[in-house]
Each structure stands twice: as structure tokens, then as C-alpha cells.
Amino acid sequence: MAPYDFVPNVQCSFPVKCHPLYSFIRPRLEDWAATLEPGHGEGNPKSRKCLVAEKRVLATCMLIPVADDARIENMCKLACWCFHVDDILDDLQGLGADSGDMPLKQYQRFANRVSELLEASVNQVKLRNLKTVMGLEELLAHRRVLVGVFVMETLMEYGMGFELQDDAISNQDLQEAESLVADHVSCVNDLFCFLVDSATGDTQFNIVHTIMCGNSDSKGFSFEYAADKVHKLVQSIEHRFKKLCENIRRSSCYNGAMEAYLEGLSHIISGNLEWHRQTGRYKLKQLWKTQVPTISWSVDLIVLMLSTGIRKHNLLYLLPCHAMAPASILNSPSLPSSSCGGLVVFFELLS
């Protein structure tokens, strides 16, 4: 029986069309799509053949055959991403994320956490489109899954060569400790990426910005206040994490594997902080912007010198006009010859 002989002979009264550039763009796009799928690459020709057989490029060219020639290729790429995400949700192994020697129950936990991460990512897109404003606790809970630490914790367990037993996994102190690690990572990330988020206007899910906005009973707070509050939150999270580790070490589920896992969790905390100090991901050389979020800025010059690791030469200048700028800034060759009106944000971040 042919693959689809079981399907009724469904008829359609509309004509079938295909975009005229299909044959021209197909080979290049199939090569590109294969790079998204680790299991379909050159090292796995059989799986790659299956990917080509799915005719994902053809799907877009037949579903939207009248698209502009200049846009059809990008449309096909976006559609391939949709296939890619759908595959992830359905089957991680189908993507070539082979469990290998990962124990089955451990792999199932890993797959579930990946699915939760993807679901949270989709939910964030919805919240962003709705311009949803969250309070601090709600935002922390939202970021807890989205930051991806739960996925890394399961990978760490596998990578270190042990599998936590059911009584350990269900231990409430351990579950809280895992959540605290995620909260620590979220807070550190939002401190370091605040400049970039502010410059791009993407502060909706930044914890520092949320504190600055205040609530219905306040007019908002300065960056210094918010950053200090997040800094203290980071310290309290680490303190609580240590107390929970002490409790776990006195519990009946404590053993050598648990000790290794607790140490691994502490490495996530310290490693994430140090990575943020070293990465160039959140540094801006020069950036001008004519508007910033309407929050209460109390100073003209903010020097980010928190012990969280933002170095003192990372400066954010808030200049309402050139007249308020220090002479050293006025003499900067990168300063434009005229003010743009409104609040100007100038970043001079030295590497």
C-alpha cells in the first residue's frame, strides 16, 4: 500500500499552484534547513534524506505561491523554523538530540524541561504583544523557567555521571534550591543586560526595570535604588540557597550523588556571574537613542559599580542636552554635532 492510500480521495475545487522560484531556491534552502537539524546533517545522510523528503520548502511555495519573488526565500526560512519548533515539541530524539547513555527517566525529565522552556518562550511572546506588566514576584516566577536553568540542571546531572533518585528529586528543599539558582541567574542577567534592554526598549521582562517602575502607590524609583535592591536580592538568594543545602545534607536522601549535585548547583551560580563579567554580549560601544522608558532617573551620570561584577568603566551617561555634559564627554569625537531633542542616551562602554 502506498504511504497515503488509507486517506480518502479528498478533492478540491481550487487549482494547485507553486511559486515559480521553487526549483531555483529549493537546493539552497534545503542545505540551510539541514543546519537547523543536528540529526539531519552531513554526518547522517539517511536522516538528511528524510528531511529532504519532507519537502518543507515545497510546502511554503505551494501554500503561498503568489508571494513576492524578493520575499519567498525568507518566508521559506521562517516556515522551516516552524517545522523545527514543532519537531522539538514532538520528539527531541527525532532531532538528533540522542539520549545516548542518558538514563531513560533522566532523559524524560530533560525532555519535559525543554518542553516547559519552549512553552514559556511562547507565552512570553504573547505577554510581550499584550504589553503585560508584571510585579516582581510574578516576573521572577515567569523568568524561573524561561532562563533555562532547569534544563541545564538536568544536563549537569547527566554530565557528571549520576542520576538522582526519586526521593531526592521530590525533596522540597532541593526543589526550592533549584528554583533559587534560576532566580539568581535571572537577577544577575537583568543587572548586566539592563543597558542593552533599555537601549533597545526591551525592558518589559527586566527585573531592574520592573522595580524602577514601582507600583500604583509610587512614582517610580531611580536606577541606583533598583539595582541595589536586585543586588541585595541576589545576596539573599545565595544565603537562602546555602541554608537549604545544609538542610539537604541532614536529610535521608543525602548521599555522594546529592553532594555532587549541590556543588554543581553552586557552580551554576558562580559560573553564570563570572560569564556575565567576561562576555561581550551585554556591552555597547556607542549607542544613541532619543527616547528611554518613562521611569524616574535621578542622576545625570550613573556609574555601574555594583559588586555583581559590572566594572566601573562601564558608564551610562544620561544627557538631557549638551550643556549638562561633562567637558570630557563634549570633547569626545563620537559625540554628534547637534542634540536630538528629548532625552539622549549615550553609552561609552570600554572593553
Q: Is 1 helix (H, G, I), strand (E, B) or coil?
A: coil
pLDDT of residue 294: 34
Q: Name which of 187, 265, 266 is nearest 228 in CA terms.
A: 187
Q: What is the phi/psi pair of residue 289, to 5°?
A: -150, 135
Q: What is the DSSP string of 58-69?
A: HHHHHHSTTS-H
pLDDT of residue 178: 96
Residues of the chain with pLDDT under 50: 1, 40-41, 94-95, 285-351
Q: Name which of 122, 127, 184, 194 is nearest 152 in CA terms.
A: 184
Is 245:239 a contact under the CB 8 Å cutoff? no
Cell numbers standing for residue 86: 514543532
- Rounded-to-integer distance, Cα 284 and Cα 204, Å: 20
Q: Name which of 311, 286, 314, 316 is nearest 299 in CA terms.
A: 316
214: left (phi over 0), alpha (psi -120 to 50) or beta: left
pTM: 0.66
Q: What is the phi/psi pair of residue 244, to 5°?
A: -65, -40
- Rounded-to-integer distance, Cα 111 and Cα 93, Å: 9
- Rounded-to-integer distance, Cα 231 and Cα 308, Å: 7
Q: Name which of 201, 195, 224 is nearest 285 in CA terms.
A: 195
Strand 344-349 to 314-319 pairing: antiparallel
Is 178:98 a contact under the CB 8 Å cutoff? no
Q: Is 318 helix (H, G, I), strand (E, B) or coil?
A: strand
pLDDT of residue 3: 54
- Opening angle at CA 302, ends 269 and 280, nearest 5: 45
Give tens-digit pLDDT for 208-234.
999 998 876 667 888 888 888 999 999
Q: State the DSSP code for 38.
A: G
Q: Name which of 139, 135, 129 is nearest 190 in CA terms.
A: 139
Say which residues have a Cβ less than 8 Å from residue 144's Cβ, sequence separation at least 6: 150, 179, 182, 183, 186
Burial of 225 (0-12, 13-18, 19+ CB in 10 A): middle
- Rounded-to-integer distance, Cα 193 and Cα 292, Å: 15
Q: What is the CA radius of gyration of the chain?
A: 26
